[in-house]
Amino acid sequence: MSARSTSDAPASDAPWWRHGVVYQVYIRSFADGNGDGTGDLAGLRSRLGYLQRLGVDAVWITPWYASPMVDGGYDVADYRTIDPRFGTLDEAERLIAEAHQLGIRVIADLVPNHTSERHSWFREAIASPPGHPSRDRYHIRDGRGPDGSEPPNDWTSTFGGPAWTRLADGQWYLHLFAPEQPDLNWENPEVMAEFLDIQRFWLDRGIDGFRVDVAHGLVKDPTFSDLGPEHLEVLATVHPANHRHWDRDGVHEIVRGWRRLIDEYDDRMLVAEAWVTPDRLRLYTRPDEYHQAFSFSLLESEWDADELRSVIAEGVTVAVPNGSTPTWVLSNHDVMREATRYGLPKGTNWRMWPVTGPVEALDEELGRRRARAAALLLLGLPGSAYLYQGEELGLPEVWDLPTEALDDPVWERSDHAQRGRDGSRVPLPWESTGPSYGFGSNGGWLPQPAGWSALAASAQAEDADSTLSLYREAIALRRRLGTADEAIELLDLGRDVVAYRRGTGLTCVVNLGTSPVALPAHDRVLLRSEPGGPDDPSGPDGALEPDTAIWLM
Ligand code: NOJ
């Protein structure tokens, strides 16, 4: 691919993913090119210039394959076809070529834990009698009880309810997510062969890497024994080691097979979505496994200096001994947007809060301010940074979507205990006016709040103090300072301050306390999360206001 000009940055031979800023495109909510209310490849292609201007190194596109969309495309019916709602294979190839022309890599989403129930393999399996080899590609088993009418065990689905559904012939199949997402049996060699072939299919079309969905869930305890008290809550994030179906040692053998294939190509990568404990995360990035694995600790952390300091130290120690890099994430399409998360009081369970309230607990302005400070915290760190679309616009969670609009299976399957993840998936506002604020020529698949015209990308692009301008400047500075030097030193500037100095000379200071803090000696202010005011800290005597961050040289 043609490389972006880096003439003003110190040269680095490191592979691109080591320090890349990767922008997550949740395709159905990014940009709608054909006016049907769903984002698509045409929309994404029309906005590549925006992503180039933002300065990202790569995009990760959530599943674009043929799918009934029960789980937003994470229920794949055909891994070699683009869903007609998103476009065609030809268009995907054009998108890859156009992105490469602009110096942007393209990461596809690989979904190996389960298929859609509409996948030809599952159709064949359930049309075949018990014992037929096609059934062995999934976990299809007899039930318990005298007539087999009880599920094979007590496992529950991540989305709520039992993890087993009964077939017409009386057997049961396993689904760790929705019933429409039957789990594949990775003990069956046909499954491995098929996924190697799928990867080759996309690598040959120029895909630069794969984000691997549910990397920690592929292997199940062969005894299929009950979980007993080890049940996890709906949408639980951290999963214990060697659980009956999470984070089992066998998952590593699988990725080693994929890695051998990836290594046949130049410069491609694998990034794991593995919600596991930090001490186990390091196993996923051993030299013959994933190139990197999302560190979700930042995303899970409270706005608390102690916690953030240890998250940074941990992110570095988990990744570095393996030769991987920290892989930071503040948000994604599965969690509450940080502009809202940070506006809730410490200790709030943000998954439950949209249902339980109290509504008055939310301080939107505080959340907005902290999210901007968190952006500087994130983008100054060594390693790669994954941004979630709309994060650069400071979008809040739309936690009060009308219940009739909710599409995430979690809402129904949790018996309305959780609203699910739609609040972070509302279509992006591109323009201040027009139907769906420029998302498309008609409405979007989820309604946008009335106040979003000021948050539109076009409005923010004109405003030097906007969150979009902050992200653009931070990413440009990050590039200019260079990313080759991965060193970081945590500085002690007081209990409520998170501060670090990079090998590049950049110092980032974040004030999480309630009163201003003095800045360390510096030559220059590079960037501040809030525009100037009476407390303007750009002079050496300035102080940093609460819930703000600054980059110093
Ligand atoms: C993780 C994905 O990010 C999420 O959106 C999806 O529901 C589950 N995996 C199941 O595929």
Radius of gyration for the chain, computed over Cα atoms and rounded to the nearest angstrom: 23
Fill in the amino acid letter for 282.
R
Which of the two residues, 33 and 242, has the higher pLDDT score? 33
> Tokens representing 225?
């024994």
Mean pLDDT of the 18-31 span: 97
Pocket flag, ligand 1, residue 328 (CB < 6 Å): no
116: Cα separation from own chain's centroid: 21
Mean pLDDT value of segment 30-56: 98
For ligand 1, mutation pick of 24, 174, 177, 275 (most atoms within 8 Å of CB):
177
- In the predicted structure, residue 126 carries a pLDDT above the cut 80: yes
pLDDT of residue 541: 55
Output the residue whose Cα is nearest ligand 1's atom 5: 334
Q: In the prediction, which pLDDT does 232 show?
A: 83
d(CA 412, CA 447): 19
Ligand 1 midpoint to CA 527 (Å): 35
* Ligand 1 contacts CB of residue 57 (under 6 A): no
Structure tokens at 372: 């901007």
The amino acid at 388: Y
Minimum CA distance residue for ligand 1 atom 2: 213
For 70, phi and psi rounded to 5 degrees? -70, -35
Percentage of the chain modeled with pLDDT above 70: 96
pLDDT at 3: 44
What per-residue string of b and e applies to 150-175 under the rule 16 or more CB within 10 Å gives b? Answer: ebbbbbbbbbbbbbbbbeeeebbbbb
Q: Which pLDDT score, from 0 to 100, does residue 319 have?
A: 83
Of the candidates 14, 332, 301, 344, the residue with the CA atom closest to the CA atom of residue 312: 301
Identify the pLDDT of residue 421.
Answer: 98
Is 0.85 surpassed by the pTM of this model?
Answer: yes
Region of poorest pLDDT, from 122-126, 215-219, 224-228: 224-228
Q: Is the pLDDT of residue 4 over 70?
A: no
Q: What is the pLDDT of residue 291?
A: 97
What pLDDT shows up at residue 485?
82
How far apart, in Å, are the Cα atoms of 394 and each of 134, 340, 402, 429?
48, 10, 22, 11
Residue of 26, 67, 71 with the most ligand 1 atoms within 8 Å of its CB, for mutation: 71
**Which residue's CA is minimally distant from atom 10 of ligand 1?**
74
- Answer whether 159 contacts ligand 1 (Cβ < 6 A): no
* Range with the poorest average pLDDT among 32-41, 130-139, 170-179, 237-246: 237-246
Q: Confirm whether 13 is a catalytic residue.
A: no
What is the full DSSP assignment across 327-372?
EEES--TTS--HHHHTTSPTT--TTTHHHH--GGG--HHHHHHHHH
Residue 212 Cβ contacting ligand 1 at under 6 Å: no
Averaged pLDDT for residues 152-179? 97
What separation in Å is there between the alpha carbon of 196 and the centre of ligand 1?
21
213 is catalytic: yes
Pick the catalytic residue: 147, 204, 264, 404?
264
141 token code pair: 């088993």
152: closest CA among 240, 70, 221, 246? 221
Helix (H, G, I), strand (E, B) or coil at 510: strand
pLDDT value at position 9? Answer: 54
Rounded CA-CA distance 387/300 in Å is 15
pLDDT at residue 320 tops 70:
yes
How much is the average pLDDT of 467-484? Answer: 95
* Contacting residues for 94 by C-beta, under 8 A, at least 6 apart: 45
Q: Quick one: pLDDT at residue 536?
A: 59
Per-residue CA distances from 114 to 187, 213, 348, 473 (Å): 13, 10, 32, 40
Amino acid at 147: D
Average pLDDT over residues 306-335: 93
Q: Which distant-in-sequence residues (6+ apart) come within 8 Å of 74 by Cβ?
A: 62, 63, 67, 109, 111, 177, 181, 213
CA separation for the pair 141, 163 (Å, rounded): 12
Preceding amide of 84 cis, omega within 30: no
In b/e form, how buried is each residue of 107-124, taking b as 16+ CB within 10 angstroms? bbbbbbbbbbbbbebbee
**Is the CB of 117 within 6 Å of ligand 1?**
no
Report the range of poorest mean pLDDT among 351-365, 378-392, 537-551. Answer: 537-551
pLDDT in the model for residue 5? 40
What's residue 7's pLDDT? 41
pLDDT: which is higher, 242 or 489 = 489
* Three-state SS annotation for 189-235: HHHHHHHHHHHHHHHCCCCCEEEECCCCCCCCCCCCCCCHHHCCCCC
Please give the Cα distance from 271 to 290 (Å, whole number): 6
CB of 71 shorter than 6 A to ligand 1: yes
Mutate to test the pocket of ligand 1, among 27, 214, 421 (most ligand atoms within 8 A of CB): 214
Pick from 32-41, 311-320, 441-450: least confident? 311-320
Determine whether the shortest distance from the Cβ of 180 to ligand 1 is under 6 A. no
> Is the per-residue pLDDT at 85 higher than 60?
yes
β-pair type (209-212, 105-110)? parallel
Cβ–ligand 1 contact at 86 (below 6 Å):
no
Count of C-beta atoms within a 10 Å radius of residue 465: 10
* Cα separation, 173 vs 123, whole angstroms: 13
Rounded Cα distance between 34 and 85, Å, is 9
Ligand 1 pocket mutation, candidates 24, 74, 159, criterion most atoms within 8 A of CB: 74
Per-residue pLDDT of 236-283, as tens digits, reads 887 888 899 999 999 999 999 999 999 999 999 999 999 999 999 999
Q: CA 544, CA 537: separation in Å to the nearest integer?
A: 6
For residue 535, pLDDT beyond 80: no
The CA 239 to ligand 1 mean position distance, Å, reads 15
pLDDT above 90 coverage of the chain, percent: 89
Name the H helices within 336-494: 338-341, 353-356, 364-380, 409-413, 457-461, 467-481
The pairing of beta strand 384-388 with beta strand 488-491: unpaired
Q: Which of 217, 327, 187, 197 is nearest to 258 (CA)?
A: 197
Exposure string over 410-444, b if 16+ CB within 10 A, otherwise e: bbebbeeebbbbbbbbbbbbbebeeebbbbbeeeb
- Cα atoms in the Cβ-side hemisphere of radius 13 Å centred on 541: 1
Which of the 8 DSSP states describes residue 5? P
Mean of all residue pLDDT scores within the chain: 94
pLDDT digits (tens, 9 = 90+) for 301-318: 999 999 999 999 999 888
CA distance 283 to 56: 28
| Per-residue pLDDT, 539 | 47
Q: Is 438 left (phi over 0), alpha (psi -120 to 50) or beta?
A: left
